[in-house]
Structure 1
Amino acid sequence: MDEDNEQAYRWEGGYKKTWETLKEDESGSLQASIDEEIRKAKRKRLSAKKSNVRLGMMRHLFIILDMSAPMDDHDLKPNRATCCLKMLEIFVEEFFDQNPIGQLGVVTTKDKRAEILSGMSGSSHKHVDLIKKCKERIIKENGISLTGEPSLQNSLELCKRTLKQMPKHASREALIILGSLTTCDPGSLYDTIIELKNEGIRCSVIGLSAEIHICTKLTKETGGSYGVILDENHFLDLLRDHIPPPSSSEHSESSLIKMGFPQHTSSRQSTKVSLCMTTKKFTLGGYYCPQCHAKYSELPVQCVTCSLTLVSAPHLARSYHHLFPLPIYNETNDSNISACFSCAVAIPTDDSVHICSICKEGFCIDCNLYIRDTLHCCPGCINSRSELMSKSTVQC
């Protein structure tokens, strides 16, 4: 065999035989190898998280969904379009859970056109209902409505017209889910990329087929990310990577933001029927703008009359952790710490301990991920503050 045949092709270099990493232990079980692979995946998630990076609290994200003919392929079950809509239902719920004062919109593209499926709004229920209706229609029509080619330029121009009107202190983002390998545009897409970069709109792409040069150019110029899915689980992981807010860009401004905190008036307390600006119907009760007294059925929302941002105090409190993210825990093999401070479960001797640099408490890798993804505060630091407060109270 000559040297050329001994060397693998370039595309084979990135191919990994994942089944070879699983090895049996002395008892013939694969569980130890499986646990090790799971730990490696968790360590990879932790290593991707950056410390000392300021994240934006207010986000404006447009999701551009390809609904062209290639989305009727069955490599994702039952087809690509239906699978994408199911994943988007999960994504929307988790997005608003982690970004309660953010706003989101959905744009679809097919037949060389782009149209808004769900306008920019802070209501998760509105987006989920429209996504479910779209999914039911596709299932009922058996994919007949998935036709033509997508148009990236028309979709991005549609998003740009809305996003460029957003305030400079808020992030402007577009996430493209693309199943086609082609795009049919009325003009030069490179000109649109330059305009998006100048407006500070960050564009990211999730490909369902293969990597495309123009998408690589788009994400590189605007500071976004590009990923191609391997399967449904990987698809969901790529979507979840866009749930945490991105780091503040050079286009964002630091300024005081005027907000209103309206109190909810129930239908029993209200005696007058008035127009709700959210549902466009006459109802009793709701949230009244403290500046112009326009009524809305839910928060957060930007008042269409006076442009005041209306939020609730819990929404603002839940978003506060994005301004000051937790420092990265130090990963060590300290034998002095035998159990996790949070869950009190014994940490295996061959597993690492994650120690907070402030309170010096040790945590297992599962609790570390839970603290960063959901809790957003260190239990050890909170316990230390509580003990100090109780001691000071006793002394007084």
Structure 2
Amino acid sequence: MATNGRRQMVEDDEDIIDVDDSSLMNNQANYAWEEEYKRSWDVLQEDEHGSLAGVVNSLQQAAKRKRLLRDTDPIQRGIIRHLFIIIDLSKAMQEKDLRPSRLSLTFTYLEAFIAEFFDQNPISQIGLVGTKDGLAEKLTELSGNPTEHIRALKLKKFQETGGEPSLQNALEMARSSLVHVPAHGSREILVIMGSLTTTDPGNIHDTITQLTQDNIRASVIALAAEVQVLKVLTTQTKGTFGVAMNEGHYRDLLFEVIPPTAVTTTKTASNLVQMGFPSRSNDTAATLCACHGKLTLGGYICPRCNAKLCDIPTECDICTLTLVSSPLLARSYHHLFPVENFVEVAWKDASTTTQCFSCQKMFLSPHKISLQLQATTEAGSQPRRKAGSALNPGAGSSGSLTRR
């Protein structure tokens, strides 16, 4: 009787522990980096060949197609853009809720963002501003040279972070540069904020009001949580606000800034914008450039004042003429009349199409795709031999293979 009573008490304790553990697991909130891998095996199913490679590829392609879906309405957009990116370099960026850390992931994504931004907006310009220790530092001026911005990011990537950011100082620094750009180009600010606090010397709402009066559009990507002052900033300046939930969502929020925004009706319209097409200069001797005041070899000659500048697109520092090239102008034109989104069809509906219309690459038939998947499955299912092979059974740790 005593044994049965003790056994019953143990079973009751186990039941209590199981109930508490299950309720604790149900009520416990997951971290951001755990959401992507939460029971990820439930959505995977083997294909007809018993392989997971095809399923994983299809999931990746579906996610990629979802990101590529865009608005294809032919509306007026500002293809000449001036964008300042404000980067939080405070101590909060060392948090590791985004792997490997918020700062490292931000610099990695920004390098890809800058390259893609200038690929889709070749006549636009970007500037970088960093903020930490209650101060703001201009990393790069407004420029259309992606190499300059990527070089500045790589130099800043391994420098020490610290203190608290100053959102007001960073916004004022970006505003002082954007207020002088021509009215026919858009004025935009993108804030990447990892801290929940900001150390400002004055009333930040006065700065937000000034941004609204100067027609500067501010968007924010928060890495920690929604902050009221950031929400007010985006609401009053007609920008966008988002909180990154994981690494993939962070990248999606960042790359949503790349397509140019629609032109509002309240903005001052410019019927014609005067532009110049400079000629390439191949000097044998170094001459002074008008943009940096340095001795350089080569450059571009302004057709109006004959001043030499290092890169295009840019604005001539002497006569303020916008300098572009015809290929850059043509590449920006596709935003006004975007291509329709691709529609996925079955092989039986596309039997007459054998190659891509754009790049002329031949499509693989369903039979060849099945053979490739089958070969991949067979290669992955073959058992690995130990160090001692049939040709040399003496090699290896133990003679598991014997000669008959």
From the superposition, tell whether residues 344 and 118 of structure 1 become closer, same or farther in structure 2 (CA, over 3 Å).
same
The structural deviation recorded for 1:23 is: 3.4
In the other structure, the counterpart of 2:363 is 345
From the superposition, tell whether residues 341 and 225 of structure 1 become closer, same or farther in structure 2 (CA, over 3 Å).
farther
- Residues 1:49 and 2:71 aligned together: yes
In the other structure, the counterpart of 1:315 is 328
From the superposition, tell whether residues 51 and 346 of structure 1 become closer, same or farther in structure 2 (CA, over 3 Å).
farther
Give the CA RMSD over aligned residues: 3.0
The alignment's TM-score, normalised by the length of structure 1, stands at: 0.74
| Deviations 1:8-65 (CA, angstroms, capped at 9, x unpaired) | 98x89x9785623333456654445434533442342244434223332211000000
Distance in 1 (alpha carbons) for counterparts of 2:291 and 2:99: 35
- Partner amino acid, structure 2, of 1:202: R
> 1:13-92 maps to which residues of 2 (within 5 A)?
17=38, 19=40, 20-25=42-47, 28-31=50-53, 33-92=55-114
| Deviations 1:330-361 (CA, angstroms, capped at 9, x unpaired) | 6666943234651442687xxxxxxxxxxxxx
Distance in 1 (alpha carbons) for counterparts of 2:63 and 2:104: 28
> 1:355-366 maps to which residues of 2 (within 5 A)?
none
- Residues 1:282 and 2:282 aligned together: no
> 1:222-233 maps to which residues of 2 (within 5 A)?
222-233=237-248
Distance in 2 (alpha carbons) for counterparts of 1:305 and 1:18: 62
The structural deviation recorded for 1:82 is: 3.1
From the superposition, tell whether residues 310 and 38 of structure 1 become closer, same or farther in structure 2 (CA, over 3 Å).
same
Distance in 2 (alpha carbons) for counterparts of 1:68 and 1:184: 11
Distance in 2 (alpha carbons) for counterparts of 1:149 and 1:323: 41
Distance in 1 (alpha carbons) for counterparts of 2:282 and 2:54: 56
- Mean Cα deviation higher: 181-190 or 55-64: 181-190
Q: Select the residue among 257, 264, 267 that pairs with 2:283.
A: 267
The structural deviation recorded for 1:318 is: 1.6
Q: Which stretches in structure 2 are left out of the alignment for 5+ residues?
A: 1-18, 367-404
- Partner amino acid, structure 2, of 1:307: T
Distance in 2 (alpha carbons) for counterparts of 1:77 and 1:171: 34
Distance in 2 (alpha carbons) for counterparts of 1:320 and 1:180: 38
- Residues 1:325 and 2:338 aligned together: yes
The structural deviation recorded for 1:115 is: 1.9
The alignment's TM-score, normalised by the length of structure 2, stands at: 0.73
From the superposition, tell whether residues 47 and 122 of structure 1 become closer, same or farther in structure 2 (CA, over 3 Å).
closer
- Partner amino acid, structure 2, of 1:247: A
- Mean Cα deviation higher: 150-159 or 238-247: 238-247
- Partner amino acid, structure 2, of 1:314: P
From the superposition, tell whether residues 67 and 212 of structure 1 become closer, same or farther in structure 2 (CA, over 3 Å).
same
- Mean Cα deviation higher: 228-237 or 50-59: 228-237
Q: Select the residue among 175, 196, 207 that pairs with 1:160.
A: 175
Distance in 1 (alpha carbons) for counterparts of 2:171 and 2:151: 24
Distance in 2 (alpha carbons) for counterparts of 1:220 and 1:21: 38
SS of match in other structure, 1:177? strand
Indicate the percent of aligned positions where both proteins have the same amino acid.
Answer: 44
CA contact (8 A) 1:203 1:219 kept: yes
Distance in 2 (alpha carbons) for counterparts of 1:36 and 1:252: 46
From the superposition, tell whether residues 100 and 47 of structure 1 become closer, same or farther in structure 2 (CA, over 3 Å).
closer
SS of match in other structure, 2:263? coil
Aligned residues: 333
Distance in 2 (alpha carbons) for counterparts of 1:200 and 1:95: 21
Distance in 2 (alpha carbons) for counterparts of 1:91 and 1:328: 22
- Partner amino acid, structure 2, of 1:54: Q
- Mean Cα deviation higher: 258-267 or 278-287: 278-287
Q: Select the residue among 108, 126, 141 that pairs with 1:104.
A: 126
| Deviations 1:193-227 (CA, angstroms, capped at 9, x unpaired) | 33323322221112221222222222233222222
From the superposition, tell whether residues 281 and 257 of structure 1 become closer, same or farther in structure 2 (CA, over 3 Å).
same
- Greater CA radius of gyration, 1 or 2? 2
The structural deviation recorded for 1:282 is: 2.5
From the superposition, tell whether residues 35 and 77 of structure 1 become closer, same or farther in structure 2 (CA, over 3 Å).
closer
Q: Which stretches in structure 1 are left out of the alignment for 5+ residues?
A: 349-396
From the superposition, tell whether residues 325 and 50 of structure 1 become closer, same or farther in structure 2 (CA, over 3 Å).
closer
